[in-house]
């Protein structure tokens, strides 16, 4: 049976570091949970509301109290053992659901803080990690598992850095599983040959990627016609989906710089119809706006610029450019 208990002002119900076995409900009075912020060391006072549970987390998780529970004015509490608490909430899922929400919120916050601290040092790149796991299974002749990992890789990173390799290994895994069976067969060729632990710059770029970067530098040198030709060839080759999309975007830019504004508008519009989720979306809208502006269609330009500003996420640089263009429209 839960036990009623009275505490005088300035007494302490439990101390930080205590091993907990009790959970409390505040019936009347004032209780503050005093702790220090784990990030800043700043003192935190959490005031318990009447009817609210406290001491739940450490009691359920069986770890030391993380705060002092200090009585501010004469207080009445109900004390539950963990078993009594469990029985009580089992009959009232609403309480658990509420606590789950509070706890998952706390977990999300602390999880984010941890990830934040880790990001510089050691967080593995998931794309690389997934591929490496596939390689591990392949080496161990666990073909089913390897196939799973490579298929997931190809699902999430269809034009990722290792997609060709993953494709090839997935096929090999399938063949070996059929021909030799799980755990048997010769060492699969080429596993582990791809050096993935070091960052790769340029080395493993596909032919399309290499040419794409060449053409981008042509744009920089204002060799628009030449760049346009190369981008078109990359698209026609149909080789590397990622660079096809990138090149399609650059074709639009080339047309814009060559002052073929109508063609640029048409091109970008088709591009956005085909790849509505492209990362280049805000930029494409910007170039459409610019093209209309150059053509003297201020109204259309204005509506495209405003559309960009209504997007949930755009980068600061583009935002500045758009705002500048809008001001120029107003002044004109």
Partner 1 sequence: MELNSQAFERFAVNFEKGDLIFCEYEPGDSFYLIQQGRVQISKILGDIEKTIDILQPGEIFGEMAILEEAPRSANATALDPVRALEFNRENFEILLRGNPQIALKLLKLLTKRIYDQRRRFMILTLEDEQAKVADVFLMLNELQTEAEPQEDDEMTDERRFYTTPDDVAHWAGISPEKSREVLNHFASQRRVEIHDDHIVVKNINDFARFVRSRRKQ
Q: Please, which residue, 73 or 92, has the CB nearer to partner 1? A: 92
- In the 8-state DSSP scheme, what is residue 211? H
Q: How far is the CB of 42 from partner 1 (least distance, A)?
A: 12
Stretch that binds partner 1, among 98-106, 202-210, 213-221, 323-331 (CB under 8 A): 98-106
- Which of 44, 117, 187, 309 is in the footprint of partner 1 by CB under 8 A? 117
Binding residues with partner 1: total (CB under 8 A): 52
The pairing of strands 68-81 and 3-7 is antiparallel
CA distance 84 to 23: 9
- 42 forms part of the interface with partner 1 (CB under 8 A): no
CA distance 19 to 59: 8
User: Mask of contacts with partner 1, 155-194, x by CB under 8 A?
Assistant: -x-------------------------x------------
Q: Please, which residue, 104 or 303, has the CB nearer to partner 1? A: 104
Give the chain's length: 332
Q: Please, which residue, 93 or 225, has the CB nearer to partner 1? A: 93
Alpha helices in 119-275 (DSSP H): 126-139, 143-156, 163-179, 207-220, 224-237, 241-257, 261-274
CA distance 129 to 276: 29
- On whether the CB atoms of residues 177 and 199 are closer than 8 A, the answer is no
Query: Sign of the CA dihedral 240, 241, 242, 244?
Result: positive
- 247 forms part of the interface with partner 1 (CB under 8 A): no
- 124 forms part of the interface with partner 1 (CB under 8 A): yes
- In the 8-state DSSP scheme, what is residue 14? E
Residues that bind partner 1 in the complex, under the rule CB under 8 A: 38-39, 41, 56-58, 60-63, 66, 86, 89-93, 96-97, 99-100, 103-104, 106-108, 110-111, 113-114, 117-118, 121-122, 124, 126-127, 129-130, 132-133, 136, 139-140, 142, 144-145, 148-149, 152, 156, 182
């Amino acid at each position: 049976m839960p036990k009623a208990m009275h505490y005088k002002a300035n007494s302490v119900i439990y101390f930080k570091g205590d091993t907990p076995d009790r959970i409390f409900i505040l019936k009347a009075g004032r209780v503050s949970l005093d702790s220090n912020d784990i990030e800043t060391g700043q003192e935190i006072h959490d005031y318990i509301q009447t009817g609210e549970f406290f001491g739940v987390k450490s009691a359920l998780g069986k770890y030391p109290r993380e705060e002092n529970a200090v009585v501010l004015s004469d207080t009445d509490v109900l004390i539950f053992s963990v078993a009594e608490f469990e029985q009580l909430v089992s009959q009232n899922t609403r309480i658990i659901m509420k606590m789950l929400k509070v706890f998952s919120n706390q977990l999300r916050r602390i999880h984010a803080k941890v990830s934040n601290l880790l990001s510089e040092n050691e967080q593995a790149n998931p794309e690389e990690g997934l591929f490496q796991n596939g390689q591990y299974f392949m080496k161990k002749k666990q073909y089913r598992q390897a196939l799973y990992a490579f298929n997931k890789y190809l699902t999430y990173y269809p034009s990722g850095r290792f997609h060709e390799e993953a494709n090839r290994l997935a096929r090999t895994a399938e063949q070996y599983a059929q021909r030799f069976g799980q755990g048997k067969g010769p060492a699969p060729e080429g596993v582990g040959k791809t050096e993935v632990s070091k960052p790769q710059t340029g080395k493993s770029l596909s032919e399309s990627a290499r040419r794409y970067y060449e053409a981008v530098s042509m744009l920089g040198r204002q060799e628009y016609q030449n760049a346009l030709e190369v981008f078109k060839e990359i698209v026609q080759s149909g080789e590397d989906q990622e660079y096809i999309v990138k090149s399609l975007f650059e074709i639009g830019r080339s047309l814009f710089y060559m002052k073929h504004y109508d063609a640029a508008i048409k091109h970008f519009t088709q591009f956005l119809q085909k790849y509505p989720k492209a990362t280049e979306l805000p930029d494409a809208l910007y170039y459409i706006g610019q093209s209309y502006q150059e053509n003297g269609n201020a109204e259309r330009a204005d509506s495209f610029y405003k559309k960009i500003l209504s997007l949930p996420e755009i980068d600061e640089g583009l935002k500045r450019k758009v705002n500048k263009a809008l001001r120029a429209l107003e002044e004109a």
